[in-house]
Chains A and B, each alone.
Chain A
Amino acid sequence: MTLEEFGKIIESYGSSSERWPVDMREECENFIADNSEARELVNRQLELEMLMDQIAVPEFPGLEARVLDQQLPSRKLAPLDQFLEWLLPADKSGKQFWRPAMVACLPLIFGIIIGNFYNFGVGLQGESFEYWDDELYILSLNDYTENLF
């Protein structure tokens, strides 16, 4: 370990060895034991941390009562929110991916069902052929060989 590497650890994790990465802790401690400059770095870091500890935060005497007394909204969700909660659950593991997928397929299923019951006028334009197999039969009677040459 170099002094620069050790310096980076000190700056990133602080002077307390408890905060240092577990896999590097022993190496760092050995490095400090052998290196006076490393000890100086730790001391400087410690000095900064002690100075930072002197910056106090005021008390907030009425805050607890204020938070406890605040009006909490009802836990019962509106139907739309309940549906959205079910559709897109907080669990982002992907186990519930079938829910949005199923909802996305609903228009397709709806279209198939509707299309099965109603033809919306499709197929009624040609009055001469009522069935497609009739049309195929008529086509098969034509002699296409003359058009080939």
Chain B
Amino acid sequence: MTDEELMLAVCEGDQSAYQTLVKRHLKPISHYAFRLLGNNKDTEDIAQETFLRLWINACRWQADKAKLSTWLHRITHNLCVDYLRKHSRVQTRAYLEEEEDNRGQALESYDGLQGKSTGGISENLDEDDKLRKLTAAMVELPESQRSALMLCHYQGFSNKEAAVIMNVSVKAIESTLARAKRSLRKKIAEVENSIDNTLWGEEIKTHQQELK
């Protein structure tokens, strides 16, 4: 069944259609919320609220205006923006801590594969630093830049769809994305420069050349 058919059924109060829609759209919605909010608890609350709103406002959705995924992302986006405006300071810190934990776990499992890896420690350190810096830089991005980046890069929306979700013009999305990417690239360049400038930077370079 298509989203449109399911939404018509939900509009008439069909709970099984609602369940099918939840199963179909929950993953992208929760991922988007997590990438904006950065912690599991709030992500789950926002995802739950999004689908509750789908149930309540199903009859208001117009298939000719926006795809269901766009409409749902718009609901999630608005909920997340409201949340972030209320809790901005706490949020950033929580996200960084959570990301640090995630990275730690990823590194532990990655370390297990280290022996089999063809790349050297220096490459991994470099890559890991970049990734850490990138994660931190993403959190520091203004909310609009982060949203635009998440929608277009991770959620796979076109710039036009992202503009609908964020309720801005396509031109605004274009410039927002450009600013966000410039800012991220700048942060990564800082890591590259700092590695080059350390005492062991030369050693890393030599090691990398040897590997090549």
Contact = CB atoms under 8 A, between A and B. Distances in A.
B31 A55 contact: no
A19 B162 CA distance: 13
Given A19-B158, A63-B26, A57 B35 contact: yes
B18 A60 contact: no
Interface in A34-93: 44-45, 48-49, 51-52, 54-58, 60, 62-64, 66-68, 70, 72-73, 75, 90-91
B19 interface: yes
A72 B18 contact: yes
Interface in A1-34: 8, 11-14, 19
Contact of B181 (A11, A54, A70, A91): A11
B151 interface: no
A94 B177 CA distance: 34
Contacts of B59: 90
Contacts of A49: 153
Nearest to B135: A55
A67 B177 contact: no
A75 B13 contact: yes
B125 interface: no
Contacts of B51: 67, 70
B62 A51 contact: no
B48 interface: yes
Contacts of A48: 181, 184-185, 188
B178 interface: yes
Contacts of A60: 30, 34, 40, 43-44, 47
6 contacts: A14-B153, A45-B181, A48-B181, A48-B184, A57-B30, A90-B62
Interface of B: 12-13, 15, 18-19, 22-23, 26, 30-31, 34-35, 40, 43-44, 47-48, 51-52, 55-56, 59-60, 62, 102, 106, 127, 130-131, 134-135, 138, 152-154, 158-159, 173-175, 177-178, 181-182, 184-185, 188
Interface of A: 8, 11-14, 19, 44-45, 48-49, 51-52, 54-58, 60, 62-64, 66-68, 70, 72-73, 75, 90-91
